[in-house]
Structures are given as structure tokens and as C-alpha cells.
């Protein structure tokens, strides 16, 4: 299980500058979600990915990247590995392809359930052993066929219809859109977790949109209801909330 954070901004910015001082509380969640950290920035057709098998709160490289990288959009992932999945950089999030970045919190069961559904065109991109990477590769085929927004939504609807999961909460980012998926079974959260563990909330204003998992100060933010998607147009910063 993991913690997710994504943002899109009207101007290039660092995550601490955009999120504010409470971002330190989010980073402290890596004391539990300690199996890796990863950041992917998507800005002007350029994708920059960095990740490491360290707890973010104890990582000098994470501190440097967080403070110094500036972009108009990015995804941040803190991983707590699902039981039985290896802790290594190949299974660490985000995953990226061309201008698309992706992060996930939860598990698809069994972990290799999607393997037969992935075309050779995208299966050769696989580097790790986790369900989240297969989720991403499955989505890439839908995106190629239907376009970014329609492909992501069709991916989620296909998973809902045919597969078992604890949560497919996820964030997809490209040069045009940020898409947030809130789709989970709260009863399948970790036994130690608060009832709102899977909840995702967002802050939207003229400067852009910030979205993140629960567990830190999100006063004044709006909840993304379960079984819904938030779609943010990066050109206009207009957001649409739809049912899944």
C-alpha cells in the first residue's frame, strides 16, 4: 500500500513551494511507507523520472530532488510493498512511457492477473514483477486505441468489471491532463490503517491542482468520492468530476 501525491500548476514550481509547509507531514508518512520513493515530472513534452529504494524521510537524494526540481506537473509516490512483492527499483513507482506517468495505491489479485491481457507491444516494456506495472501496461494499450482520457477511463471500467482488487486508486499524468482515480474497497485496507486510508482529496485554485492520499493536514481540501475520477485540463486548470 502506498501514498500518492500529484499536481499540475500554471507555472513551473517545486512541490514544497506549491504544496506549502504541510508537505513535511506527507513526507513523514514514508516512515511507514518506507520501501521506496519516486518522482516523475512531466513538463513541455519532457518526462524526468527519479526513484530510490529508500524511505523518503531519511533520503538525502529525495530531499535534494524535492527542493530543487521545478515543473508544471508531477507525481510523487511513497511505497509500502504489498506482501510477496520484491522491494527494488524495478517495482518502485512511478512508471512512465513517453509523456505518460503513473502511480498506484492498492493491489490487483492475483498480482499477475493482467499478464495475459497485455499485448506484446507493451509487455516488452515490463521490468519488474508487480501488479502496478501490469496495470500501467494494460492502460497504455487502451490509451493508444482510445486516447489519453478515454483510454484511462476504459481501463478502470474494465478492471472494475472483471478483476479483484483492494484498491485501484491511481494517478495518470501527461502533457495535457492529470487524471485521478478513486476506486477502492475500504474494508480491504491494511488492518492498522484508519478508515479513511484510501481517501483522496484535492485543492484547486487559479494556481493549479494538488491531489493526495490521506494521513496529513488537508484542511479545506475537497474529497474525491469513491468510484469517481477527477480530470484536470492542464491548459485551463478546469476540473471535471465524473462517476466511474
Of the chain, the percentage scoring pLDDT greater than 90 comes to: 94
pLDDT in tens, 118-170: 999 999 999 999 999 999 999 999 999 999 999 999 999 999 999 999 999 99
* Residues forming beta bridges with residue 8, ordered by sequence position: 73, 209
Dihedral sign, Cα of residue 3, residue 9, residue 12, residue 14: negative
Nearest to 139 by CA among 129, 127, 154, 128: 154
Give phi and psi for 220, each to the nearest 5.
Answer: 85, -5
Q: What is the pLDDT of residue 105?
A: 97
Cα separation, 78 vs 56, whole angstroms = 7
Question: For the residues 28-38, what does the mean pLDDT come to?
Answer: 97
The whole-number pLDDT of residue 183 equals 98
With 80 as the cut, is the pLDDT of residue 22 above it? yes
Compute the distance between CA of residue 58 and CA of residue 66 in angstroms, rounded to an integer. 13
Cell of 57: 524521510
Determine the structural domain holding residue 136 and report its residue range.
2-243
For the cut 90, the answer to whether the pLDDT of residue 29 exceeds it is yes
Domain count, the chain: 1
Burial of 115: CB neighbours in 10 Å, binned 0-12, 13-18, 19+? middle
> What pLDDT is stored for residue 217 in this prediction?
97
Distance CA 28, CA 154 (A): 34
* Model pLDDT for residues 86-132, shown as the tens digit of each residue: 999 999 999 999 999 999 999 999 999 999 999 999 999 999 999 99
pLDDT band for position 45 (50/70/90)? confident
218-243 average pLDDT score: 97
Q: What is the per-residue pLDDT for 12?
A: 96
Band (pLDDT 50/70/90 cuts) for residue 241 is very high
Question: Does residue 200 carry a pLDDT above 90?
Answer: yes
Domain with residue 172: its CATH number is 3.60.20.10
Q: What is the pLDDT of residue 192?
A: 81
Q: What is the residue-averaged pLDDT of the chain?
A: 96
pLDDT band at 188 (very low <50, low <70, confident <90, very high): confident
Please count the other Cβ atoms lying within 10 Å of the Cβ belonging to residue 24. Answer: 13
pLDDT tens digit sequence for 52-77: 999 999 999 999 999 999 999 999 99
pLDDT of residue 1: 80
The residue-averaged pLDDT of 185-210 equals 93
Mean pLDDT of 1-15: 96
Residue in the block written with cell 475500504: 186
Amino acid at each position: 500500500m502506498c501514498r500518492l501525491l500529484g499536481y499540475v500548476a500554471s507555472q513551473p514550481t517545486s512541490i514544497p513551494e506549491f504544496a506549502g509547509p504541510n508537505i513535511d507531514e506527507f513526507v513523514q508518512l514514508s516512515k511507514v511507507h518506507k520501501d521506496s520513493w519516486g518522482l516523475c515530472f512531466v513538463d513541455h513534452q519532457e518526462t524526468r523520472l527519479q526513484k530510490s529504494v529508500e524511505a523518503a524521510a531519511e533520503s538525502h537524494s529525495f530531499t535534494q530532488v524535492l527542493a530543487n526540481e521545478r515543473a508544471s506537473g508531477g507525481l510523487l509516490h511513497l511505497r509500502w510493498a504489498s506482501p510477496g512483492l520484491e522491494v527494488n527499483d524495478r517495482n518502485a513507482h512511478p512508471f512512465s512511457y513517453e509523456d505518460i506517468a503513473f502511480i498506484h495505491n492498492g493491489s490487483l489479485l492475483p498480482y499477475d492477473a493482467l499478464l495475459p491481457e497485455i499485448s506484446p507491444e507493451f509487455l516488452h516494456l515490463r521490468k519488474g514483477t508487480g501488479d502496478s506495472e501490469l496495470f500501467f501496461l494494460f492502460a497504455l494499450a487502451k490509451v493508444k486505441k482510445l486516447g489519453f482520457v478515454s483510454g484511462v477511463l476504459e481501463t478502470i471500467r474494465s478492471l472494475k468489471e472483471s478483476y479483484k482488487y483492494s484498491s485501484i486508486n491511481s494517478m495518470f499524468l501527461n502533457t495535457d491532463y492529470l487524471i485521478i482515480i478513486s476506486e477502492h474497497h475500504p474494508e480491504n485496507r491494511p488492518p492498522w490503517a484508519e478508515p479513511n486510508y484510501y481517501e483522496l482529496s484535492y485543492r484547486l485554485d487559479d494556481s493549479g491542482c494538488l491531489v493526495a492520499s490521506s494521513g496529513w493536514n488537508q484542511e479545506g481540501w475537497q474529497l474525491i468520492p469513491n468510484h469517481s475520477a477527477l480530470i484536470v485540463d492542464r491548459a485551463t486548470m478546469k476540473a471535471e468530476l465524473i462517476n466511474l
